[in-house]
Amino acid sequence: MLAYYISESNSYTVRTQPTASSQFTMSMQNMYTLENTTMSISGVTYNGYESMLGFTASISGAIVGSEYRLELYNSGAVNLDFNTGGNSIWYGSLQAYKSSSAEKSEYENQIPPITSSVSENKYIIMK
């Protein structure tokens, strides 16, 4: 499952079925509402030797906690019916998360230096 962080740059690399195409379209289906849409992908790079596709994704209107089914198509051929399987070259899923740049608290040590009392290091052992 891919992690999508809202309001951040989301770059991914996935292994696909071999393709000679240079055009790709990502279809997605909201798993809660079953609404079919397409994901905007940019900066696409494809390594034909390893069948690795790199891209940056953008989802308009993503809500924290939403989960999506993904299908990647080549040559612009899109089949938005997820039940037929179509001619996709990659399947996956994605979940939307809140921005990972959470504000971190700065902690201060509010305890003054403590000096232990002088002892003779004698212990009582009980049975």
Using a cut of 0.85, tell me whether the model's pTM lies above it. no
From residue 115, alpha-carbon distances to 88, 100, 109 in Å are 69, 41, 16
Mean pLDDT of 98-108: 61
**pLDDT greater than 70 at residue 58:** yes
Residue 94 has a pLDDT of 93
What is the Cα–Cα distance from 19 to 23, expressed in whole angstroms?
Answer: 10
> 4 in helix, strand or coil?
strand
**pLDDT greater than 60 at residue 11:** yes
**pLDDT greater than 80 at residue 96:** yes
Contact assessment for residue 53 and residue 70, using Cβ atoms and an 8 Å cutoff: no
Pairing label, strands 90-97, 2-5: parallel
pLDDT band at 44 (very low <50, low <70, confident <90, very high): very high
Mean pLDDT of 33-52: 89
From 16, 92, 10, select the one nearest 53 (Cα to Cα): 16
Mean pLDDT of 115-123: 63
What is the Cα–Cα distance from 71 to 27, expressed in whole angstroms?
Answer: 5
**pLDDT greater than 90 at residue 55:** yes
What is the Cα–Cα distance from 72 to 81, expressed in whole angstroms?
Answer: 13
32 burial level (CB within 10 Å; 0-12, 13-18, 19+) = exposed
Residue 53 has a pLDDT of 92
Name the β-bridge partners of 51.
Answer: none
Mean pLDDT of the chain, nearest integer: 80
Domains of the chain, start order: 2-97 (2.60.40)
